[in-house]
Amino acid sequence: MSGHDHEKYLHKVSQHRIAPPAVTGGDLAADLIDRAFLSYNAGRLREVCQVFTRKMLAPDCTVGLTISGALTPAGMGMSCLIPLIRAGFVDWIVSTGANLYHDTHYALDLPLHQSRPNLDDYALRENAIIRIYDIVFDYKTLLDTDSFYRELIRTDVFARPMGTAEFHYEVGRYLQARAEALGRPANSLLAAAFECGVPIYTSSPGDSSIGMNLAALSMLDSKLQIDSLRDVNETASIVYKAKRDGGHSGVLILGGGSPKNFMLQTEPQIQEVLGLEEAGHDYFLQITDARPDTGGLSGATATEAMTWGKVDPEKLPDSVTCYTDSTIALPLLTAYALARHEARPLKRLYDSREASYGALKDAYLARLAEEAKA
């Protein structure tokens, strides 16, 4: 290779020389990320921040967020997720039920405390203290939260079948009203999502303390039934509408597991199952500490997801996986986005979910009718 060709190739693979300014101690988080997060997973986190802020937050992009791992007990709901929702940076969510259950502790003003990971768990058990790694709280917090859900679910609002988005919306409505009546902030992801019209889905509603309490009441007189199949079609309709309206769909994945797959399977549901023309999500950003070579879903890469139709193959350059802890990355991403992008108008997808669902159903029935004629 000639010297000229060598320089051309080097310029092709990188246009940026590594020559960062010195860190001063007075740097803003966003400036530090742009200037000093250059290589390895710091570089990937910078790319996540930049793609999220420069591309996914475009007005025509619908942003989906998945939440797994114990993030709300660590305060991530109050510190990061609520500000992102209120800034219009998150349009819909898939979360584990556990994150929403623990979010409710904050809404009910039931305290969680910082501690250390090397405590005597036998002594904690004897003293009715619950531990989540280095977070501790009173066992009564669980009992009080369980009691809250059992009492709330017995009200007439919940005396019917509903999907998880509607269920969480009604819980958030109550938590928001309760906070207003008490004259204090709700401090709740569920309440903020209600306030901003952001639908929250749970991919496995029975797999949490909320689901356990719903299950207990189902053996009594509760008429509430969670319609998980409704959730499958409703989430697919959000993505279908975003793309059919000429916009884009982006996913920000914190961790992995069931919430990740539930959000990504919207595209195979549209393409493979319903038989409607689509190409996949446009933006795929994941924060994970899992490895792909163990076969765990949490570590599945964007290119692997592309083979399933979950990610648009034309948009793979806008797909980034950063291998780090979400509790490190999320505060940095939040600070970066709020510093680098103005708030977006709320899409309030909850308000339009019935219309989106109807449009997807109509498209599916029309395809079946055309197929019958052929």
Helix (H) or strand (E) holding 136: strand 135-138
Please give the structure tokens belonging to residue 211: 């689901």
Q: Looking at residue 296, what is its pLDDT?
A: 77
- pLDDT digit string, tens, across residues 242-281: 999 899 999 999 999 899 999 999 999 999 999 999 989 9
Three-state DSSP state, 214: helix
Share the mean pLDDT of the chain. 94
Query: Which residue type, as a one-letter code, is found at position 163?
Result: G
Domains along the chain?
Answer: 38-367 (3.40.910.10)
Q: Looking at residue 374, what is its pLDDT?
A: 78
Q: How far is CA 305 from the centre of its chain?
A: 17
309: burial class by Cβ within 10 Å (0-12, 13-18, 19+)?
Answer: buried
Check pLDDT > 90 for residue 83.
yes
- Largest Cα–Cα separation, the chain: 80
DSSP symbol at 342: P
Q: Looking at residue 6, what is its pLDDT?
A: 65
Of the listed 310, 315, 361, 373, which one is catalytic? 310
Task: Flag whether the pTM goes above 0.85.
Answer: yes
Q: Residue 282's pLDDT band (boundaries 50, 70, 90)?
A: very high
Answer yes or no: 310 catalytic: yes
